[in-house]
Chain A
Amino acid sequence: MKQANEYDVLIIGAGIAGIEAALTLGDAGYRVLLVEKEGSIGGKMALLSKTFPTLDCASCIATPKMAAAAHHPNITLLTYSEVQEVVKNGEADFSVKILKKPRYVDLDACTGCGICETVCPVIVSDEFQYDMRGRKAAYIPFDIAVPKKAIIDLDNCILCGSCERECPASAIDFTQEPETLEVKVGAIIIATGFKLFSPTLRPEFGYGRCKNVITAMQMDRLLAPTRPYNSVLRPLDGKEPMRIAYILCVGSRDRKVGNPYCSQICCMYSIKQAQLIMGALPLADVAIFYIDIRAFGKGFEEFFNQTQAMGTMFIKGRVIVVEEDKEGNVVVKYEDMDDGGRLKEDTFDLVVLAVGAMPNSDITKVFKNVKIELDEVGWIKQVDPNNNPATTSVPGIFVAGCAAGPKDIPDSIVEADAAAAQCMAYLNEHKYGRKR
């Protein structure tokens, strides 16, 4: 099908904020181009277990929106594609270059049956399961991917032709080439989300050194219906963990690693996971080492109190070091603030690091003749957060969700709709001449 070359709005990033903004704009009749660098839309939300504090199934909320965006008549979806250059020619007039990477799979022909995955002989680490298991060089990103279509990872492909021979839809196509699309848009929403803090930057917490130290994102995968294991198990040896500890503020409120801010979501996702673990492993003990608990949103304090009442231990203390014993258990040495700062240690089967959220603002480099300002730690600056929360330093370019700073899912969705509304007002004024 021939690609249109003019849209009202370009949305960069198809996580939950980008999808929400696209749906709102699409429903209002605006033509949207939604660009996602990964092979599936959905972002981090599609990989989560449940949301807090309501414990709603995350994928049950995300998947219908993902499907709606993919099938919306006013939304054109480009996955596995990257915005490479944006030039502002004037108000409501942007020229955009987009690199469409080859999937080596015909999207129209692929049925998502997974046979190419089964016959592919090469196993590599599965980035969508945060390296907790492998995937094949021919792969579908994850079970609820949209579009649920295969990709051939050419960096790891041995060009054996097995996938092509076995594909019942004859969808494998190694003749595909990278393609640069040039489009014109009237406005842009940046919804590139956030990166997770790399816990190897705090080596004392043992990530990488102790196999039974994982991140909270990995734990969320273990608790999700599309989990990498058959149960909640520890990665060192597949044992069911009976004592699990959380260390909060890993990479947040930490000037040593350049992140002075609170990531806002870690306390609550840890508390959520504690509840889910108690459901999945009723006999397990869960301890949370914290500095402060920041349960600031609607229903959060009650959720925190409920988790305490269910038996999760909250230990106010700074963890000093994490070590592995001979059985692969994790020894946590900490300062107990409720006991006068005494040094103590305890042993756990599994330790979860509540890693913080980091800016993901590299996209600003593709804007050639305008400068999108960042705040002091690198998030996209909201220049008028009280009145126009989606406004950036460049008229016509808006920001939604965690690209502007860490926030939970409901706040991301609210900001995405704010961005969509501001976008409509901007287009009405500068493109359609419909100013009030």
Chain B
Amino acid sequence: MSLRSQLLKGILEGCILSIIAKEDVYGYELSLKLQQFGLEDVSEGSIYPILLRLQKGGLIEGEMRDSPAGPKRKYYRLTKHGEEALQEFVREWERIKEPVEHILHRGNEG
């Protein structure tokens, strides 16, 4: 797997945890939210392998439930373990965000 997709996957995982932490969502809803936040390059389908991995790791739980539109959908919610993972992701992101920005945007003087 290329470095680019690995990086993207890790970040996407954190974003998905964060969205699910705010409210329970189903797959299509989740992909819309990611797009609304500007992650338009992410192919919609790529959320499903991540959702499966998060479920396997016990970070989120899925449940078939009636949706407002009518049909049953699988809604995801964060588990206790998932909340901890999200907090850790946020901590790590805060720690590397600025240094990375500095390095990338330092111009030509470095």
B is bound to A: no
Chain A interface residues toward B at CB < 8 A:
none
